[in-house]
Structure 1
Amino acid sequence: MTDQYPEPEFPAQEQEPPGRTAAMEPEPDHGETTYRGSGKLSGRKALITGGDSGIGRAVALAFAREGADVAFTHLPEEEKDARETTRLVEEAGRTALPVECDIREEDACLALVERTVAEFGRIDVLVNNAAYQMSRPEGIGAIPTEQFDRVMRTNLYGMFWVTKAALPHVPDGGSIVNTTSVQAYKPSPHLLDYAMTKSAIVAFTQGLAQQLAERPVRVNAVAPGPVWTPLIPATMPDTTEFGKQSPLGRPAQPAEMAPAYVFLASPEASYITGEIVNATGGTPLP
C-alpha cells in the first residue's frame, strides 16, 4: 500500500505563493474518492486554519465525513481553493464556514473565533494548520527580515492568538491538534526559519497539554514529513525530486495525513495528550 501514490520525478513547476491546487502536476489527493467516515466526530464543531488546500483540505473533508461541521480559514488569493473545500464539506452533508483571514494579524484571529462561535456556538476541535515557508538555499544571510517576520507570525503568532481566543469556547473534552513537521527534529538548512517554528510548535503542544489536562482539553500534534501541497511549488526552487529523500521514496499525499488528525480529535484518543504523531514516511525521529 505504500506505493499507491506518485513517486518522483515530477514535472518541473513553479507558482507564486501561496500556490493553487489545480495548477499542480500531479494534482494532490485529499481523499475525495477514498475517505470513508464512520461517525467518529458526529455533531462536533471544528475550526481549521489553512483549510483551503493541502493537509487542511484533507482534514476538513475527513472531519465532515466523520460528522463534523467545519469552519476554515483561507487567504484572499486562495478563494478558488476555498470554494472547493466548501463543496466537499457540504457534499458530506455538513455545514462549511469559509473565513477569509490572515492569521498574522491578532484582530483577524479574534474576529475568526468570534465568527465561528456565532455560527457554531462552540469549538470542539481546533486544528492549527496554517503555515508559511520559503526556501533559501543561500543560507541565513539570504533570509530577509520581511520573510522571517511572515514565517513567525503565520506559524507561531497566529497559532497562539487563535488558540488563546478559542479556548474559552472549547468545552471540556475538546481537542486541539497542531501541525508541526519532521523539520522540527531534522531541519533542512534551506528552511531554517520554518524549522525553528516547527520546533516551537512541539514545545507549545507539550506545554499547553499540561496546562489544560485538568479541564480536560487534549492537545496533540501531527509531524508530517514531505507532503505534496501547493506550498511546495510556490516556495521550493526545484520540485522534481521532492520527497525522494524519505525512506518510502516519495512525498505523502494530504489524504495520508488526515486520519492522524481524525484519530487525535476523536474519543478513541481520550487518553492521549501532549503527544506528537509522526507521519514522516519512515524518517526516524528522536
Structure 2
Amino acid sequence: MPSAEKPLVVISGAAKGIGRACAEAFLATGWHVAALDYDAEPLNTFAAGKSNVSPIVTDVADPASVEAATSQLTQPARALVNAAGIFPLSSLATADVATYRRIFDINVLGTVLLSQAIARTMPAGGAIVHFASINAFMAKPDQLLYNASKAAVVSLTRGMAADLAERRIRVNAVAPGPVDTEGLRAIPGRLEKISAQIPLGRTASPSEMAALVLWLVEGEGAQLMTGETVVSSGGVLVR
C-alpha cells in the first residue's frame, strides 16, 4: 500500500480499457493506484511488477465487497475514478429484469457504493470522476437500459457535487463518444465504420480519456469545476 508521500487514487474497472489507461496515467504522474476490478487475472497481470499498484478484486455492485476492498486502503484516497461499467444490448422489446439489474447494479449502484465508501475519508481538495457517456444525452438504438444508466450517472454527478461541496471535494464526469477499445475492435469493420461517422474523423484512444480524467483531478484549470459532465466525442454530440 502507498506511503504518505504518494497520493492515492482508487480506480474501478482498472484491469483493461479506459480504466487501465486511467491507472497508467496516474502512475506516470506519481500517484499510487488502488486498482479495483472484478476480473482477477487481467488485474493481477496489470499490477505485476508495479510497486505503486495495489490490485484489489472487487465487485462494485456488492456492498460487502466494496467495504472489504476499501478496508484494505491504508490512507485516505485523494481521488476516485469510477470507470467500471458494462453495456449489454437492450431494447424495449428485449429488456428484462435481469438485464436491468445487471446494468444498473454495476453502472449506477456501483458508482454510488464506491463513492460513498471513499468519500467518507477523502480530504478537502479531493476529486471524484465518474464515467458517463454521450448515450446519456442522445438515444442510441438497442442500448435502452445502458442509455438510462448513464443518464443516471450524470444526475449522480450533480447530486454528489452538491453534497460534497462543503467539504471542498469536487465531483465531475466524463462522457466519451466512441473509444478505440477491445470491445470496439472485436467486430470486424466496426471501428472503421464508426470512425467515418465522427465529424473529427476518428475515435478516441483510452489514453485520451485518461488524460481528461487526470486533468479533472489535478489540472490547474479544473479546480473550480464541479457537477459538470465533460463530453469528448469528436463532434458526435455537440451541446
**Same-fold call, TM cutoff 0.5:** yes
Report what 2:69 is aligned to. Answer: 112
Greater than 6 Å deviation, 4+ residue runs: none
Cα displacement string for residues 29-75 of structure 1 (whole angstroms, at most 9, x for unaligned residues): xxxxxxxxxxxxx8310000101111111110000111100011122
Report what 1:30 is aligned to. Answer: none
1:256–1:75 CA distance, 2 compared to 1 (3 A): same
Count of equivalent residues:
233
Report what 1:157 is aligned to. Answer: 109
Matches within 5 A, 1:1-286: 43-76=6-39, 79=41, 81-87=42-48, 90=50, 95-115=52-72, 117-118=73-74, 121-136=75-90, 139-232=91-184, 239=190, 241-266=193-218, 268=220, 269-286=222-239
Give the Cα separation in 2 of the matches to 1:244 and 1:72.
34
Report how far residue 253 of structure 1 moved: 1.4
TM-score when scaled to structure 1? 0.76
Gaps of 5+ in 1: 1-41
Give the Cα separation in 1 of the matches to 2:46 and 2:174.
21
Report how far residue 187 of structure 1 moved: 2.4
Gaps of 5+ in 2: none
The share of aligned pairs that are identical, in percent, is 33
Give the Cα separation in 2 of the matches to 1:254 and 1:87.
21
Give the Cα separation in 1 of the matches to 2:136 and 2:157.
13
Compare relative contact order (CA 8 Å, sep 6+) and give the higher one, 1 or 2. Answer: 1
Cα displacement string for residues 85-143 of structure 1 (whole angstroms, at most 9, x for unaligned residues): 3248x2xxx5101111111211111112111x23xx1111001110011124xx31112
Aligned-residue CA RMSD in angstroms? 2.1
